[in-house]
Amino acid sequence: MEATKRIDKYLSGQMEAEEKRAFEQELDTNKALAEELALQKDMNRFLEKRRRREALKGELDSLGSEYFGAKAEQGRVVSMVGRRRWALGIAATLLVLVVAWFALRPSLYEQYAAHPPLALVEKSGADALTLAEAEQAFNKGDYRKALPILQEYVANNPDDDLVKVYLGIAKMEIGETPEAREIFSSLATSNSPEIRDFAVWNLALSFLKDGNKEACRKVLQSIPEDSGYYQKAMDLLERLK
Amino acid sequence: MVKRSGCQLPMPISHVVLPLVAFFFLRKTVWRVVACVRYICRKPICMNWQSDETYLKALCKGNSLVLREIYTRFAPQLRSWVLRNNGDDDDAKDLMQEALMAIHDRYCGTDFQFTGNFGGLLMVIAKRMWYDQLSKKKRSQSIRKEELYGQLEEEPELEAAEAAMLEKQRMEVLARVFELLSEQCRQLLTLFSEGEKDPDKIAAQLGIPSANAVYQAKHRCLARWKKLFYQHHKTDA
């Protein structure tokens, strides 16, 4: 107790010069005193560093879990790293969902371009095999294959307006929208209401495919109420807003 | 519609379930990519390492970035050494932490001058600690201590390493027995260490009758702490 008191006085700088000198001299010879002094120094240091020491320990612990990876991978520890992993996982899933949404979402055009099936074979007995081929190709969506046969058929049957519309659709589908529009426009004044409505509707679709919403809207608005495409046209107008 | 008529799936499946399933199956790959990116980010390709003094300062004063660099630089080396010597990742993690704490305890706030190589010292402390653990666990009964330490003897940092380990052990015993002191003792000593010089204030705060009694209490607490230390330190050694 007495030694403790003296050492504490010495360490806290409360000794007079004389007393201090005597104390330091004694240290040279008194090994036990020197040892106690070292311990009390350490005790003071411990008190000063306690907070820092604990903070450092915590910091090293979390750094360790991060750098000695096996632990986190085996999922034994739910640390901050583990939680961050979960957050990352959820974020990644959301990202995938968003990307998938945009990548897989059919365009407005694709949603509305549900062309009625082509039925050529009933129309003419001649060259039935090639026509059947064209029909099949068209209905399967292989417009490139159907196009030349349709072109030939139209050349031979210039009065078959319905097939002309289909030819236009095939052109529109392979991207030749201006040519397709020419066909649709020329048929928009047809005497047959069936052909007219079909052509006008596809004219609107061709603008939609080009992304020309304004023109598409105008064409859609021109579709009369008695047209079979009126309801579809109104729907599409609503979605184009 | 026409284009996709062959394999059109209902919307919720194609847009919600499929990506989830894909993520589930690919999650390992995703983690690997994430880990790879993190590894690259962590590896300072065009950065010079900090000096040993900076490392020491980061240990003493705290600096997350520099501490991170210490791990980036030395953790892989230590890890592969531990794995080669009957240890696992957990052991390596603990050794790294303990060795850094030992360096902290030896050089932070003391008069000891740090000379030599930080990484070398860190490795020697960690190796030395691991050999101690191995011989304690008796996993290597057939290996004599001399053989264990044999390869360390040539390391220039060995002496500093042993001093650091001793210092760390002292600090840990001090920490442990500090908790055995009374609540009043702990508060009193903490107040003093935080620079509170006025004994009257301490007396008022802790409900001690007089300033004089504060000093008496302080010395009593220190003496008790010391006694506890000697008891526990001996049994440890």
Q: Return the percentage of chain B with pLDDT > 70, whole number.
A: 82
In Å, how far is A100's CA from the nearest CA of chain B? 6
pLDDT band at B175, cuts 50/70/90?
very high
Q: What is the pLDDT of residues B143-155, one digit of tens each?
A: 555 555 666 777 7
Residue from the list A36, A68, A111 with its beta carbon closest to the beta carbon of B75: A68
Cβ contact A104–B110 (<8 Å): no
Question: Is A160 in contact with A153 (CB distance < 8 Å)?
Answer: yes
Residue B237: pLDDT band (50, 70, 90) is low
Residue B224 belongs to domain with CATH number: 1.10.10
Same domain, yes or no: A149 and A37: no
Confidence (pTM): 0.54
Number of domains in chain A: 3
pLDDT of residue A78: 42
Q: Based on the fold, state whether residues A116 and A138 are members of the same structural domain.
A: yes
Nearest by CB to B226, which of A39, A53, A73? A39
Which residues in chain A have their CB less than 8 angstroms from residue B229's CB? 39, 43
Instruction: Name residues whose C-beta falls within 8 Å of residue A224's C-beta, 6 or more positions apart in sequence.
Output: A230
Judging contacts by C-beta atoms under 8 Å, the chain A residues touching residue B71 are: 63-64, 66-67
Domain that holds residue B213: 179-236
Q: Give the number of beta-carbon pairs within 8 Å between A and B.
A: 140
Does A233 lie in the same domain as A164? yes
Tens-place pLDDT, residues A18-51 = 999 999 999 999 999 999 999 999 999 999 888 8
Q: How confident is the model at residue B172 (pLDDT cuts 50, 70, 90)?
A: very high
pLDDT digits (tens, 9 = 90+) for A115-161: 888 877 666 555 666 778 888 888 888 888 888 888 888 888 888 88
Can you tell me which residue has the tokens 């990484």?
Answer: B119
Residue B5 pLDDT greater than 70, yes or no: no
| In a shared domain, residues A55 and A141 | no
Question: Which of A144-148, B18-22, B218-222 is least confident?
Answer: B18-22
Counting the structural domains of chain B, the total is: 3
**Whether residues B112 and B192 fall in one domain:** no
For residue A210, name the pLDDT band (cuts at 50, 70, 90).
confident
ipTM tops the 0.90 cut:
no
Kindly indicate the confidence band of residue A82, based on its pLDDT and cuts at 50, 70 and 90: low
Distance from CA of B93 to the nearest CA of A (A): 5
* Amino acid, single-letter form, for residue A181: R
pLDDT value at B39 more than 70: no
Is residue B47 one of the residues assigned to a domain?
A: no
**B192 within a domain of the structure (yes/no):** yes
What value does the mean pLDDT of chain B take? Answer: 82
Same domain, A4 and A18: yes
- Nearest neighbour of B15 by CB, restricted to A52, A69, A104: A104
**B202 Cα to chain A: minimum distance (Å):** 16
Region A61-73 average pLDDT? 74
Considering the domain architecture, whether residues B213 and B147 belong to the same structural domain is answered as no
Residue B90: CB atoms within 10 A of its CB come to: 16
- CATH number, domain of A138, equals 1.25.40.10
Tokens of B150: 């044999």
Residues A222, A133 within the same domain: yes
> Where does a domain end: B152, B174, B196?
B174
Residues 207-236 of B with CB under 8 A from A: 218-220, 222-223, 225-226, 229
Mean pLDDT, to the nearest integer, of A157-184? 88
pLDDT at A159: 83
Task: Name residues 70-109 of chain B within 8 A of A (Cβ).
Answer: 71-72, 75, 79, 88-90, 92-94, 96-97, 100-101, 104-105, 108-109
Same domain, B157 and B195: no
B120 shares its domain with B159: yes
Question: Residue A1 sits in which domain range?
Answer: 1-67
Average pLDDT of chain A is 84
- Claim to verify: residue B68 and residue B113 sit in the same structural domain: yes
Let me know if residue B165 belongs to a domain.
yes
pLDDT the model gives residue A188: 82
- The answer to whether residues A37 and A7 belong to one domain is yes
CB contact under 8 A, A88 and B1: no
Whether residues A122 and A81 share a domain: the answer is: no
What pLDDT, on the 0 to 100 scale, is given for residue B3? Answer: 43
The verdict on B184 and B169 lying in the same domain is no
Within 8 A of A68 by CB-CB distance, chain B residues are 75, 79, 89-90, 92-93, 96
Residues A117 and A161 in one domain: yes
Phi-psi region of B86 (alpha: psi -120 to 50; beta: other; left: phi over 0): left
**Are A119 and A209 part of one and the same domain?**
yes
Are B105 and B192 contained in the same domain? Answer: no
Model confidence at B194: pLDDT above 50: yes
Q: Which of A25-39, B170-184, B200-214 has the lowest mean pLDDT?
A: B200-214
Count how many Cα atoms sit within 13 Å of the Cα of residue A66 in the half-sphere of its side chain: 20
Task: Please say if the pLDDT value at position A75 is more than 50.
Answer: no
For residue B111, what is the DSSP state? Answer: S
Whether B76 and B162 map to the same domain: the answer is yes
The most confident of A71-85, A112-126, B113-127, by mean pLDDT: B113-127
**Is B192 in Cβ contact with A47 (below 8 Å)?**
yes
pLDDT of amino acid A133: 83
**Is the per-residue pLDDT at A3 higher than 70?**
yes
Same domain for A98 and A128: no
Residue B205 has pLDDT above 90, yes or no: no
Residues A149 and A189 in one domain: yes
Look at residue A134 in the predicted model and tell me its pLDDT. 83
Same domain, residue pair B127 and B72: yes
The residue type found at B173 is: V
